[in-house]
Amino acid sequence: MKNKIIVPIDFSMNSLNAYIYARELAVLFDARIEVVHVYQGSFDNREPMALRAGMGRKEMLQERLDDFVKLYPKEEGEGVVATQLSVKTRLIHGFPVKSVINISKEEKVLMTVMGATGEHDAVDKFIGSVSSEVVQKAYCPVLLIPKGMKYRPFQNILYSSNYESVDQEMLERIMRFNKHFGAALHFVHVQKKKDETYDHLENKIFEKLFESGDPDFSFNLATIQAPSVLKGLLQYSSENNIDLIVTVNRERGFFESLFGASLTKQIALRSTVPILAYHA
């Protein structure tokens, strides 16, 4: 059975954008897609939905979910690989964060792809209570797609190689991921104090990159000074045409300490660069 990409949706334009983005990745990774909608007990009176005779809420939502999958690929436009993707839907009654995290535990889950803002552009509601929590707690990599971001092959990938994120396992995972793109890898250490050293981290990265001979991609090791990790990553990203920022989330909440709830919202609103969070 193929690996699968999970796409949680709320029927907003941003979740549609994440779904279209995920379709491109599914082709590249030879994966299937599972589109998930989690609903709770009460109606949102802003939903453009009315119950029909003989059809309950669950049936209406399932029909809407099926229509979402069937109709929206037509919006993809030019440049999309013409292929027959395996796309399934799942309707879940429960709490969004808990439900999505539980799905991330399942076998064969390659990654979760989510829009950075949700229904009605309610950033405080979606980013604060769903996306950021899933990014911190999911059992699979989570790819967060900024508003309006269209898929393009990654040519430059930034890996936040600060002290918390450099280990053999994570280096192997990002190198395996990059085999699908052949992008230049930028290992960036943000130095907040001038007396900090990075030599031992550089040695670990070099040893891994050349473990099996010369790497088949270009790379750059950079140490930059910035008042915060977030500002440093954003600055480097904008100056070096970065297409993807990769971070590592550890059990003690590395991603939360790196971005923080309010900073997560800021980067989602300001950046056009997707964020891929791995979990140690």
Listed in sequence order, the DSSP H helices in the chain are 13-29, 57-71, 96-104, 123-126, 132-137, 168-178, 199-209, 229-239, 254-270
Q: Is 4-145's fold the same as 156-279's? A: yes
Domain coordinates in residue numbering, the chain: 4-145, 156-279
Q: Looking at residue 215, what is its pLDDT?
A: 80
Q: Looking at residue 254, what is its pLDDT?
A: 52
Q: Looking at residue 158, what is its pLDDT?
A: 93
Quick check: helix, strand or coil at residue 63? Answer: helix
Which homologous superfamily does the CATH classification assign to the domain defined by 4-145?
A: HUPs (3.40.50.620)
User: Computed from CA positions of residues 235, 239, 241, 246, in that sequence, does the dihedral angle turn out positive or negative?
Assistant: negative
Q: Residue 171's CB: how many other CB atoms inside 10 A?
A: 21
Q: Looking at residue 264, what is its pLDDT?
A: 45
Q: Which residues, listed in sequence order, are joined to residue 210 by a DSSP beta bridge?
A: none
Taking only the tens of pLDDT, the chain with its 280 residues reads 789 999 999 888 888 889 999 999 999 999 999 999 998 875 554 455 555 555 677 888 999 999 888 866 654 444 444 457 899 999 999 998 899 999 999 999 999 999 876 444 444 444 445 777 787 788 999 999 988 889 999 999 998 876 555 677 888 899 999 999 999 999 988 877 665 666 677 777 877 787 777 788 899 988 888 888 788 888 999 999 999 988 877 654 455 555 444 444 555 556 678 988 887 6
Which homologous superfamily does the CATH classification assign to the domain defined by 156-279?
A: HUPs (3.40.50.620)
Our CA dihedral for 215, 216, 218, 222, rounded to 10 degrees, sits at -30
